[in-house]
Amino acid sequence: MKKLYLYLLTSALLSIVVLGWLIDTFNQQAFSPDDNFHWQRNITGGFIKQLERQPAKQRASFANTISQEFSLNVSYKDGQSLALPSELKNEMFTPQGLLLEDEIGFYLLKSSENLMPDYVELRLSKPEQEQNSDALLTLLFYSGVCTFMWFILSPLAKRLNVLTSKAKQFAAGDFSARINPNHFTYIKDVELTFNGMASKIEKLMAENKLMASSLSHDIRTPVACMRFALDAAIDEPDNKKVNEILLRMEKDLDQMEDMLKSYLSFATLEQKSHLLNFETTQASHYLHDVSLQIQPKLQKAELSLLTELNTKFEITADLHWLARAITNLLSNACDFATKHIQISSYYDSQYIYIEIEDDGPGIAPENWHKVFSPFFQEENHRNRAGKSYGLGLAIVNKVVDWHHGKVSVSQSESLGGAKFTIQLPKRPN
C-alpha cells in the first residue's frame, strides 16, 4: 500500500505543478495587457499635450470636461499624493506609460516634464477576452488535474475490479478463484494477500470435507460392532458372556475416543499457527535431544538409531512444533523399520535439511505425493501401527509449512526404506 500512497501523492503534486506552469505560460503568451491598450496610450499622449497648453490651475477642470465629452474615465491627479517607488514613477514619462492592475481592471498613468509632478490617470476596464480567458483557464486546470489523476488511477480501478470479481467468484463457491499477478499494479500486496487467504481457505475446506467423510467412514465400523455387541448382550442369558461382550464394547469405545481426539486435535491445529515462538539453537544438540524422546519406542521395537549430526550450525524455528514434526517422522519410522533408523542433517547457503530414513518396506513412488494428505494410508500399511489414522504425516507437513519450508519423501539409498527430508530456510520470514 505504500506504493499506492506514493503514486497518489506524486501524481497530485506533479499534475498541479505541471498544469499550473503550462497554463501560466499559455496565459502570458495568449494575453498581454501591453498589446491590448495601444490606442488608449495614444489618446492619453494626445490628452497630455492638450493639458500642457492649459494654465496649471485650469488643467483639472479641462480634464473633467474632456472626460465627459469623450466618455473617457480620465482624470488629472496630484503627483504629490502618489505613493509609488521612483522606478515606477519614471515609467510614467515613457511613451508606454505605467500600466497597473487591480481587482476591477487596469489604470494607465502617464505624465510629461511639463506636467511634473502631476500625472494623468486613465481608467481601463478589463477586456472581455481576458475575463473569458480566466474562466476557460480555470476550467482547463481542473479538467487537466482530473484527466491526470484518471490516467494514474485507472490501473488501480481496473485491479480493484479484478479483485472484486474474484472475491465474488470465491464467495459464490469457486475456491479456485485467484488473481493473476500483474507488474503494473499499485495493490500487489493486497492481491498476493488475497491469493494466500484463498489458498488457505481452499485447503481448510478440503481438509474439513475430507475429515468429515473420513470420520463418518472410520467411525462406522466401531459403531456397528457396538450395535451388534449390544444386541448380543441383551439376548445373552449368561452373565459371564455378557461381561465379555461389555469388555469388547469398552475397547470399541476407547478406539472411538482415540479417533475423535486425533481428529479434533488435527482440526484445531491451524488455529495455533499464529502462536509460533521462533528461537535459535545449535542444530546437532537440538536434534540429539529430540531423538532421545523416542528411545523407549526404539528399545521396545529393538531398533538402533544411527545419527549423522556432527555438522555445527544453528537452526531458527519454533522448537516445540518442529520437535513434534521430527518425532512424528521418527515414530513413523519405528512402526515400519526392521533394524535401523537414521537421522542426519546438513545445510547449504539458503536451507537446512533434516533427513530421517529407515530400512522398512518404504513407500510406493506413486504415493509419494499423497502421503502428507490427511487420513491417507497405504493399503499394505493399514493397521500396522495400531492407533494410526493417517494424521501423523499431515501434521508434519502443516508444521513445516508454518516454517515456510518443504517436506518430501523418497527412497533411502543407504537403508532401502523410506526417506523423509525436511527443508527449512535458514532465516524464516
Q: What is the pLDDT of residue 383?
A: 45
Is the model more confident about 90 or about 389? 90
Give the helix/strand (H/E) hosting 59.
helix 59-69
CB 283 within 8 A of CB 352: yes
How many folded domains does the chain comprise? 4
Q: What is the pLDDT of residue 384?
A: 47
Q: Among 55-69, 122-136, 277-291, 300-314, which stretch is predicted with the lowest mean pLDDT? A: 122-136
pLDDT tens readout for residues 365-379: 888 888 887 777 765
pLDDT of 421 above 90: yes
CA dist., res. 193 & res. 214, Å (int): 31
Closest among 95, 91, 88 to 45, alpha carbons compared? 95
Quote the domain boundaries for residue 104: 37-125
User: 214 lies in a domain?
Assistant: yes
Question: How far is CA 220 from each of CA 55, 101, 215, 315, rounded to the nearest angstrom?
Answer: 128, 97, 8, 44
More confident residue, 136 or 227: 227
State yes or no: pLDDT of 339 exceeds 80.
Answer: yes
Average pLDDT, the chain: 80
Let me know if residue 163 belongs to a domain: no
> Is the pLDDT confidence value at 127 over 70?
no
Same domain, 141 and 17: yes
Choosing from 248, 272, 296, the residue where a domain stops is 272
For 68-82, 288-302, 409-423, which range has the lowest pLDDT when averaged over its residues? Answer: 68-82
pLDDT beyond 80 at 129:
no
Instruction: Tally the C-alpha atoms within 13 A of residue 221's C-alpha that lie toward its C-beta.
Output: 9
Question: Out of 185-194, 286-295, 344-353, which region has the weakest mean confidence (pLDDT)?
Answer: 185-194
Quickly state the pLDDT bin for 55 (edges 50, 70, 90): confident
Q: Is residue 165 assigned to a domain? A: no
Mark whether 264 and 318 lie in a shared domain: no
Question: Which of 272, 299, 314 corresponds to the end of one domain?
Answer: 272
Residue 385's pLDDT is what? 47
Per residue in 209-220, pLDDT (tens digit) is 766 766 666 677
Q: What is the mean pLDDT of residues 293-313?
A: 85
Q: What is the mean pLDDT of residues 148-167?
A: 81
Assigned domain for 167 exists: no
User: Mean pLDDT across the stretch 373-391?
Assistant: 60
> What are the Cα distances from residue 37, in Å, to 5, 44, 89, 97?
49, 11, 19, 11
Task: Name the helix (H) or strand (E) containing 20.
Answer: helix 2-30
The CATH number linked to 261 is: 1.10.287.130
Q: Do residues 340 and 415 share a domain?
A: yes
Would you call 157 helix, strand, or coil by DSSP? helix
Which cell goes with 64?
A: 473633467
241 with 375, same domain? no
Q: Does 28 share its domain with 42? A: no
pLDDT at 322: 92
The reply to whether 347 and 264 lie within a common domain is no
In a domain, 162, yes or no: no
Q: What is the pLDDT of residue 211?
A: 67
- Shared domain for 18 and 112, answered yes or no, is no
pLDDT at site 237 = 85
Residue 326 lies in a domain: yes
DSSP H/E element including 341: strand 340-347
Predicted pLDDT at 217:
64
Residues 286 and 366 in one domain: yes
Q: How far apart are the first and last CA of the chain?
A: 19
Looking at the fold, whether 210 and 151 belong to one and the same domain comes out as no
**Hunting for cell 459464490 — which residue is that?**
172
Q: Residue 19 pLDDT more than 60?
A: yes
Residue 316 lies in a domain: yes
66 and 18, same structural domain? no
Percentage above 70 pLDDT, the chain: 83
Q: Is residue 104 part of a domain?
A: yes
Same domain? For 2 and 144 the reply is yes
Instruction: Look up the pTM and report it.
Output: 0.53
26 or 141, greater pLDDT: 141
